[in-house]
Homo-oligomer: A and B are copies of this chain.
Amino acid sequence: MSARTVTIKENILGANEKKADSNRKLLDSHHVLMINMMSASGSGKTSLILRTIDRLGGKYRIAVIQGGVAPSIDGDKITRQSVPAIPINTGGGCHLDAQMIRQALEALDLDRTDLILIENVGNLVCTADFDLGAHKNAVILSIPEGDDKPRKYPMMFVEADVVLVNKADVLPYFDFNLEAFPEIIRGLNPSAGVFAVSAKTGDGLDCWFSWLEEALG
């Protein structure tokens, strides 16, 4: 990378960070918790969000912000659950940024919201570089992707507050060492919780719901 490229990148990230802090202050003033959910495409973010709405939607007022190149497909799934869902089309960009989130926050009624789940663009590489103003980062890795992913894409896992290992129902058909996996995560990030879950069968999701409820305070 040239010196000029580095400077531009630093300026973009610096401006993003200010906007992210401003988003967090806005949310705090309305007592709203925001979670940034990140994963590769196809890890099951949408299914996990639908399960979370099913379980906690009666107790907390939930809204969803969905980033994508063509996010309307999953957005339809979520609005069918009578929960506000704000789509953000990144125009080909591979991550959300704090300004995009700000616009979505302005479209929501924050006084009638307890919890915002951000479904970030499906991408393990650069989504974690951009602070969105969320209070916590949840990273989803699914069994079929392989247990080597934290070593290949470490940044995402370093930034995680919780790691959900999804599609645990298909563990018997893949070479994924689930027993050793929490230790791999601890090597990168000693404080992140690691929960094996299946959005399909519902197994293990209680730990995720408890974690969320604790964060909601």
A146 and B40 CA atoms in complex are apart in Å by 12
Considering only CB atoms and an 8 Å cut-off, how many residues of chain A contact the other chain?
Answer: 39
A41 touches B151 (CB 8 A): no
Q: Which of A44-70 contact B (CB under 8 A)?
A: 68-70
Q: Which of A141-190 contact B (CB under 8 A)?
A: 142-146, 148-149, 151-155, 167, 169-170, 173-174
A70 touches B154 (CB 8 A): yes
- Residue A126 at the chain B interface, CB threshold 8 Å: yes
B92 touches A41 (CB 8 A): no
Encode A111-123 as 1/0 by CB contact (under 8 A) with B: 0000000000111
Instruction: Tell me how many chains of this kind the complex includes.
Output: 2
Minimum CB–CB distance from A185 to chain B (whole Å) comes to: 15
Contacts of A173 in B (CB 8 A): 169-170, 173
Chain B residue at minimum C-beta to C-beta distance from A127: B94
A94 and B73 contact, Cβ closer than 8 Å, known pairs A146-B42, A149-B42: no
A153 and B89 CA atoms in complex are apart in Å by 11
Q: 17 new A-B pairs (CB below 8 Å) besides A41-B145, A42-B142?
A: A40-B122, A41-B153, A42-B144, A42-B145, A69-B125, A69-B152, A73-B148, A92-B125, A93-B126, A94-B125, A122-B153, A123-B123, A142-B144, A143-B144, A144-B145, A144-B170, A170-B173
